[in-house]
Amino acid sequence: MSETYTIITTSVEEMVAAGVAFAATLQGGDVVALNGDLGAGKTHFSKGLVAGLGAAESVTSPTFSLVQEYLSGRLPVFHFDFYRLDSAGELISLGWDDYLDEGGVIIAEWADKFPEILPHHTIRLDFAIKADGRHTVRIR
């Protein structure tokens, strides 16, 4: 994906729907890096993405577990949260390289903490909250 485009949402439902639509573009081996402030919509987008891949599991933020696995869809999804990690070494010890080899989709919230560990083909999404309350997702 070489172009950049922006999605604008005005509700949680629209953010989830954006994730569902985005899921249709994904294939095994894709890494999706989500960056943005708390409350900007990363987890709601992830809920839609996982649902869009056909997974039946309920999506929760992996902030405390660090990684959640959703295996019931057309592709396995491995949902990471880098927020509480202090180093790329911690991520490696969680099995990051093994997850990259699984052929599923990796979602990495707060991915800008360790950009050096992301593969070159990573799809980057930047989430923001505008002054008027709208949320934007810039996909690059």
Q: How far is it, in rounded angstroms, from Cα 137 to Cα 124?
A: 10
Contact 50, 62 (CB under 8 A): no
Give just the sign of the alpha carbon dihedral 23, 79, 137, 3. negative
% of the chain exceeding 90 in pLDDT: 83
Q: Domain of 92?
A: 5-139
Structurally, the chain folds into a number of domains equal to 1
pTM value? Answer: 0.92
- CATH assignment at residue 63: 3.40.50.300
Tally Cβ neighbours within 10 Å of residue 110: 19
β-bridge pairing 31-36 and 105-109:
parallel
Task: Give residue for tokens 């999404």.
Answer: 125
pLDDT tens digits for 26-51? 999 999 999 999 889 999 999 999 99
Residue 96 has which token pair? 């990051």
